[in-house]
Amino acid sequence: MREAVAAHDYGKVVRLARRAQGLTQQELGVLAGYSAATISRLETGHQALDDITTLRILARVLDIPPSWLGLSSPPALEDPPVGRRVHPRSTAVPVSVEPHLAGEDDAVKRRRFLAGLTGLTGAALLAGPQEAADAATMAQRLERFLTTDTAGTPATMTELRAALDVARTTFDACRYGDLSIMLPRVAATAQATLTQVGGREREQANACLADAYMLTSELAVKLNQDGMAWVAADRALATATSSGDPFAIAGASRAVAIAMRRQGRHEGAVGMLTRTALDLGTDRGTPEPRTLQVYAALLCTAAYSCAQNGLRGRSLDLIGEAEQAAGRLPEATSRGRLPTPANVAVYRVGIHTALGEPGVALDHARGVNHRLLTTPERRARWCVDTARAWEQFGRKDRAVTALLAAERTAPQEIRRPAVATLISGMRYGAGPVPSELHALAIRNGMN
């Protein structure tokens, strides 16, 4: 490695680092977004390795100093970090290969390696922090994704599921800029995999592709890009239907209904959600926890749609049924955005605010145990919904306190267009404006 770095033989540096990490050329390609053939050409020198973006991606994926690939003035060369993984946002979270795992066969090692990719895969696809947080840039990325074909490399189902786990975790962490870079490559990988598999694996690949489109729709909603949200949700539903997976179909149906609701088609959205919920058959036998969660998620969305349409009684009936379903879950159940009793309680806040009942909404907000909200996205959503209720209640000072809590939890949630609109309305509306609100707006680029 020392000789390769000294000779500026970057292809050899990549090959040695890849082997030290126990990766095949295809596995490195999946992580970096290139084909195995491209990795082979780069390593052998048949393709010039002089693109700075490619070099940075490879340095991140292989967990080697950028200087080894000529990206900065090289310090004294350290020993290669064989077997070490470091989270891209921190140098203080090493994950070492334990000695008792050294005898595992390659398949087990690969699974264990992929299971630890939540941070690393994201690092391979990141832009700069300012670009990642810019809503217009993120929207452009989604538009390119939905209107152009991106070439992908087939992957195993294990690799594909691992990539989707990374994407879900990135959404739940409110790293929306990072996700807008990831999703096109994850979807392209799923598309390419579909062309190579058949039978049960094809159904699974379709379900994975539907998941990627669902996440795209959810991100488009966060960015107030309602047209793109509907396009992505429709693709998710078509793909999920091909998979035959009832959970994928239910999730995609919910994404379509959210897009419909945001276009003012409340009745159609509620009808779709309730039909899909009934199809899950939770009234028969003892449904498994995931079925109850998906059922509750559909009803939560239906209840919120009714509230936005002014249908108070129907809304409260639906959220009450969702609460009962969530109450039947085992105590330890946790699945990100899918309902637990705490997540359903957050929906109550938004529902009563939409109904023009901020006092009731705030009572429910006080009753939420934030420690049971398992992701930054859910905790930030609770804070923002509470801020909306306080603003409607006429207490800008308390609304600002809630927004500051959301900012501490997930800064990119504050920068969403809908939240920016809330902040602007408070700044320029009637009544005194807390100084912290101006500082919050300036800090997040809302000048």
Quick one: pLDDT band at residue 105, thresholds 50, 70, 90?
very low
CB 197 within 8 A of CB 243: no
- Per-residue pLDDT at 402 exceeds 90: yes
- Mean pLDDT of the 52-73 span: 80
CB 403 within 8 A of CB 383: yes
Q: What distance in Å separates the CA atoms of residue 265 and residue 269, rounded to the nearest whole number?
A: 6
User: Cβ–Cβ contacts within 10 Å for residue 204, how many?
Assistant: 20
4-14+24-30+33-98 maps to CATH 1.10.260 = yes
Q: How far does Cα 263 stand from its chain's mean position?
A: 23
Give residue for tokens 């429910």: 364
CB 30 within 8 A of CB 163: yes
Dihedral of CA 280/282/285/287: which sign? positive
Contacts of 122 (CB under 8 A, 6+ apart): 88, 166, 170, 175, 178, 182
All structural domains of the chain with their residue ranges = 4-14+24-30+33-98, 125-262, 264-374, 381-447
- Per-residue pLDDT at 261 exceeds 70: yes
Higher-pLDDT residue of 302 and 57 is 302
pLDDT of residue 94: 30
- Mean pLDDT of the 124-133 span: 39
- Per-residue pLDDT at 96 exceeds 70: no
Q: What distance in Å separates the CA atoms of residue 175 and residue 375, rounded to the nearest whole number?
A: 12
